[in-house]
Amino acid sequence: MKFNFVKMPRFIQWLYPERIWAFSNKKKSVYLTFDDGPIPEVTTWVLDILKKHNAKATFFCIGENIQKHSEIFQKIIAEGHAIGNHTFNHLNGWKTKTSEYIENVEKAERQKTEKSEFKNQQSLFRPPYGKITSKQAKILQQKGFKIVMWDIISFDFDNSISEEKCLQNVLRNIKPGSIVVFHDSLKAEKNLLFVLPKVLEYLNKNELLPQRLDVII
């Protein structure tokens, strides 16, 4: 199974109902998420844009990047955003032994808590590439992690698509309750710089509030 859909099909969500894909559309909120940071070249800019629009988001951080850029990690927390776990080394669960994968996630979680006194109400986890085995997922859930997937992925990391196409990936699919994936990474920087301000303007115009995931999970 390949996660190459902009809008995640319902049949995939039904296959894994224990994972979080989206929320009810009864509240006019959306959930912007950023994977792969923190890094100084992109994450700081993302934080400035979110602050400008009074928007909150969730950052699924790589443990190694937290270790390297702890000051930016602290800035994410200080500005009121939520933190999630994205493994320590951006591992592909389908290509990693279960014991190694779990150990890597736990290493990232320790890094997250050691660098600050911040603790989520829930331990949020997103598997890199969206690739995690059922066994790995079950073990993490038993350890208290909430596995957060998405219903919209912007494909900002794909340099083969135009900035406008990336923008339309989001605007044509976003609705109340959506969980949207962006990346605060160098690979995504070109598209993100174009797309994120316009998405935030659209959300403001349509009175859709970008919120942290941990306020609802």
Catalytic residues, by residue number, are 35, 183
The helix/strand/coil state of 29 is strand
Alpha carbon distance 72, 79 (integer Å): 11
- CA-nearest of 142, 121, 130 to 179 is 130
User: Which residue in this structure is represented by tokens 């200080």?
Assistant: 78
Q: Rounded distance, CA 210 to CA 94, Å?
A: 32
SS3 17: coil
